[in-house]
């Protein structure tokens, strides 16, 4: 008999755990607990049991009925709460309160991601002024006065001597003036260009400058560092190329292109059908620059690089109008 009870208990447990609706629950109730249910009928059998066993079996039967009823009720509660969300105390479905979620501007978030990569490679982070002198922005970076190289960057002037920096490269000079090699630093910051405001260009943007000067820094290491950066930022399958270019403060100079991630290199509007996207400019620090900061260019070599944050974010997030970065539409800001 006891064995039979255990079996009924096990079967019931199994059935009740599989019940998933009030309908299946009702079937279980009928099967076990109704007037003709298995458990109810067991009590009828009690009459047939010899007196001396009655007490023991009665207790077992009561235990079984209690167990079945409890489990049934708790399952019933569970199923009802799940479907309506109501408990005896509260309505669980009432909404919580809206918490105001802050957000970093996507440009600063992008910058932070870039900074993190370079910081992990042992670069320090330095800053310099946005309102700069001609000396730091041009002269000490080997832009001769009256040289067409100055036309490469449309400049906002305050007067003959002061201007809004057109790149973060002047911070290179400021850092090298303060420190002796080895110098390994990135220098993020805002720069200005006197360019018409439209979907593709804006009068200000942010750059990250990088500089590494030591005794045996080579172009091969420059490539190594930037390839490592690009793979960490854009993904390991990245294809890249280094193309000769010209910056007065580096020699040799290069620009780094990566495969256009929109068309995967087959050519599209964004990459002007070249299959490549330019992501940064770089090169070996020009000896003239070392002369301005009194570094011995025979003893020390170095590399420098610079990249624009807006461009990187435009490409990465598929944004087609740069002006949206400066509109501060809360619906845009909250996306990131």
Smaller CB separation from another protein, 88 or 328 = 328
| Residues contacting residue 329 through CB under 8 Å, at least 6 positions apart | none
Residue of the chain from 36, 244, 294, 318 that contacts another protein (CB under 8 A): 244
Pair of tokens at residue 254: 């290069």
Query: For residues 123-182, which are near another protein according to CB under 8 A?
Result: 123-127, 129-131, 133, 144-149, 151-152, 156-159, 161-162, 164, 182
Q: Of how many residues is the chain composed?
A: 336
Q: Given candidates 110, 172, 253, 259, which one binds another protein under the rule CB under 8 A?
A: 253
CB of 100 to another protein, least distance (A): 3
In the window 263-322, what residues touch another protein (CB under 8 A)?
Answer: 272, 284, 286-287, 301
**What is the CB neighbour count within 10 angstroms for residue 144?**
12
DSSP 3-state assignment of 324? helix
Q: Is 70 exposed, middle or buried (0-12, 13-18, 19+ CB in 10 A)?
A: exposed
| CA-based nearest residue to 32, from 43, 18, 47 | 43
Beta bridge partners, 226, equal none
At closest approach, how far in Å is the CB of 279 from another protein?
15
| Least gap, CB of 159 to another protein (angstroms) | 6
- Segment near another protein (CB under 8 A), from 3-11, 27-35, 57-65, 325-333? 325-333
Using CB under 8 A as the binding rule, whether residue 237 contacts another protein is answered as no
Residue selected from 84, 243, 266, 320 as contacting another protein according to rule CB under 8 A:
243
Instruction: For the CB of residue 182, give the shortest distance to another protein in the complex, in Å.
Output: 5
Shortest distance in whole angstroms from residue 125 CB to another protein: 4
The rounded distance, in Å, linking the Cα atoms of 279 and 238 is 13
Q: In the bound complex, what is the minimum distance in angstroms from residue 249's beta carbon to another protein?
A: 12
Question: How many amino acids of this chain bind another protein (CB under 8 A)?
Answer: 91
Q: Which run of H or of E encompasses 210?
A: strand 204-214
In three-state secondary structure terms, 63 is helix
Angle at 71 between CA 68 and CA 77, to 5 degrees: 135
Q: Is 108 exposed, middle or buried (0-12, 13-18, 19+ CB in 10 A)?
A: middle
CB 205 → another protein: shortest distance, Å?
Answer: 10
Q: Which of residues 177-236 bind another protein (CB under 8 A)?
A: 182, 184-185, 188, 190, 192, 194, 196-197, 202-204, 212, 214, 216, 218-221, 223-225, 227-228
Q: In whole angstroms, what is the distance from residue 176 CA to residue 128 CA?
A: 12
Say if CB 307 and CB 183 are below 8 A apart: no
Q: Which is nearer to another protein, 35 or 160 (CB)?
A: 160
Distance in Å, CB of 296 to another protein, minimum: 14
Whole-angstrom Cα distance, residue 113 to residue 229?
11
The residue among 15 and 214 lying less far from another protein, judged by its C-beta, is 214
With respect to another protein, which residue has the nearer C-beta, 24 or 124? 124
Which residues, 52 to 111, sit near another protein by CB under 8 A? 94-95, 97-105, 107-108
CB of 323 to another protein, least distance (A): 10
Closer CB to another protein, 80 or 278, in the complex: 278
Q: Measure the N-to-C terminal CA separation of the chain; round to a whole number of Å.
A: 67
């Amino acid at each position: 008999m006891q064995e039979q009870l255990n079996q009924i208990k096990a079967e019931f447990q199994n059935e009740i755990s599989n019940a998933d609706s009030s309908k299946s629950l009702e079937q279980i109730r009928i099967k076990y607990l109704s007037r003709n249910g298995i458990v109810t009928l067991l009590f009828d059998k009690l009459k047939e049991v010899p007196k001396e066993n009655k007490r023991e079996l009665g207790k077992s039967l009561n235990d079984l009925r209690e167990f079945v009823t409890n489990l049934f009720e708790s399952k019933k509660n569970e199923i009802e709460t799940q479907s309506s969300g109501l408990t005896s105390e509260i309505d669980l479905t009432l909404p919580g309160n809206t918490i105001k979620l802050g957000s970093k501007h996507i440009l600063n978030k992008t910058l932070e991601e870039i900074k993190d990569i370079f910081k992990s490679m042992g670069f320090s982070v330095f800053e310099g002024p946005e309102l700069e002198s001609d000396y730091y922005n041009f002269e000490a970076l080997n832009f001769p006065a009256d040289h067409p190289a100055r036309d490469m960057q449309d400049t906002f002037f305050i007067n003959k001597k002061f201007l809004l920096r057109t790149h973060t490269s002047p911070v290179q000079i400021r850092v090298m003036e303060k420190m002796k090699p080895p110098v390994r630093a990135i220098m993020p910051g805002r720069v200005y260009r006197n360019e018409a405001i439209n979907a593709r260009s804006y009068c200000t943007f942010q750059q990250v400058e990088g500089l590494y000067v030591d005794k045996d820094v080579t172009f091969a290491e420059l490539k190594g560092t930037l390839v490592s950066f690009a793979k960490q930022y854009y993904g390991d399958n990245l294809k890249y190329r280094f193309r000769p270019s010209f910056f007065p403060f580096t020699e040799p100079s290069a620009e780094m292109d990566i495969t256009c991630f929109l068309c995967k290199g087959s050519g599209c509007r964004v990459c002007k059908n070249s299959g490549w996207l330019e992501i940064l400019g770089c090169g070996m620090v020009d000896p003239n620059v070392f002369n301005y900061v009194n570094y011995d260019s025979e003893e020390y070599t170095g590399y420098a690089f610079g990249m624009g944050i807006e461009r990187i974010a435009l490409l990465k997030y598929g944004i087609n109008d740069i002006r949206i970065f400066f509109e501060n539409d809360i619906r845009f800001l909250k996306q990131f």
